[in-house]
Amino acid sequence: MDKLIDRLKAEAAANDGVVSVLKNARFAVFCILLAMCFGVEMDEETVEKMDEVMKTVLITLDPRIDDYLPILSPFFSKQRKQALQVRKHQIDYIVPFIEKRREALLNPGSDRSAMSFSYLDTLFDLKVEGRKSAPSNSELVTLCSEFLNGGTDTTATALEWGIAQLIENQDIQSKLLDEIKSTVGDRKVDETDIEKLKYLQAVVKELLRRHPPTYFSLTHAATEEAATLGGYDIPTDANLEIYLPGIGDDPKIWSDPEKFDPDRFYLGKEDGDIMGVKGVKMMPFGVGRRICPGLGMATVHVHLMLARMVQEFEWSAYPANSKVDFSGKLEFTVVMKNALKATIRPRDSG
C-alpha cells in the first residue's frame, strides 16, 4: 500500500497532479500477488519484467476462430508457432524463480525465516488424482500464471471504475472519507479496519454491481440431462455463457439500476448478496460450487486499496470540470475505453 501511495505521489509531482489510475493500481496489485505467489518481494525491474511476460501470454491467448472450428487449424500455423514461442519464453523466465524457492525450502541453511509462506509452497507436493508424481515445472508455471493473471487485472480494473465513480460522485467520495476519519482516525487504514467500514463495503458492492470484471462469467456446462435455465433446455456439455451486466442492470431486480448508489446497500434498501446465497441479483464472481476461489482475496484488496487512495488523496476530474467517460471495452477484463487519468491532491496539504 505504501508503494502505491508513493508511486502516485511521485507521478503527480512530475505531472502537475495528474496520474494514470489503472497503470498504478495494476502495478500495486501485481506486486502483492507476486509476493504471495513466490514468498519474497521483488525489485521494481523484476516486477515489470514479470508483468510484461504475463501480459504477453494474455494477449497471445485471445480466442481465435480455430478454437471453435479445429478444422481450420492448418490456416493458423503461424499463430500457433508464435503461441508456442511465448509459452517457451514464459517457462524459461519463471522456472528459475520456482527452483530458487524450492532450493530455499529444502536448504536448512537458507534464509527461509526471512520469507513468508507462499502459494507456490502449497504446489510443490500437490497430490493430483490418478498421478504419482508432483506437478512438473511447466505445470507449476501454469498454476502460478493463473494465480497472477486471474487476480491482477480483475482487481486493478475494479479500482479504475471505482475511482471514476468517486470522481463523478464527489458526495460519495466525501462520505467515504468522513467514515474513514471517524472510524480509523489519523493512522493508515489497514486490513483489520475493513469490517468496521460499512459505507466502504456498500461502495464496493455497488461498484461490483455496476462494473463486474467481465461481460460474461467463466464458461459453464450442464453435466446432466434435462437441465433447464430461464425456461431453456441446456444440452449436456454445451458451453453456457452468462451475461453479467444483464443481471446487475435489470430494472426488474434493482431500483434505478443505472444510478451509482451505495446507499441502496448501506441503508439496507436492497440486498447486497454477491455470492448468490439468497438468490442471484448480481454475480461478479460467479455463484455456487464453482464461484471464483479468489473472491475473498480480491475483495480485501479492492476495499483496502480504495480506502487508502481516498484517505491519502482528493480525487478530481482531468481535465478539470470534465465529465468522466464511462464507456467500456473488453480486454482481459472490461476496462474503461479511455484509460482514466485523474488529478489528485494530498489530503494533508489542506
- Residue 93: partners with Cβ closer than 8 Å, 6 or more residues away: 49, 50, 53
DSSP state of 20: E
Tell me: is residue 37 an annotated ligand-binding position. Answer: no
Q: Concatenate the DSSP letters of all residues of 289-345 into one string.
A: GGS-TTHHHHHHHHHHHHHHHHHHEEEEESSTTPPP---EEESSSEEESS--EEEEE
> CB–CB of 164/213 below 8 Å?
no
For 45-101, the DSSP string reads HHHHHHHHHHHHHHHHTS--HHHH-GGGGGGGHHHHHHHHHHHHHHHHHHHHHHHHH
Using N-to-C axis directions, what is the helix angle for 295-312 and 170-184, rounded to 10°?
90
Binding-site members are 292
Binding-site members for heme are 292
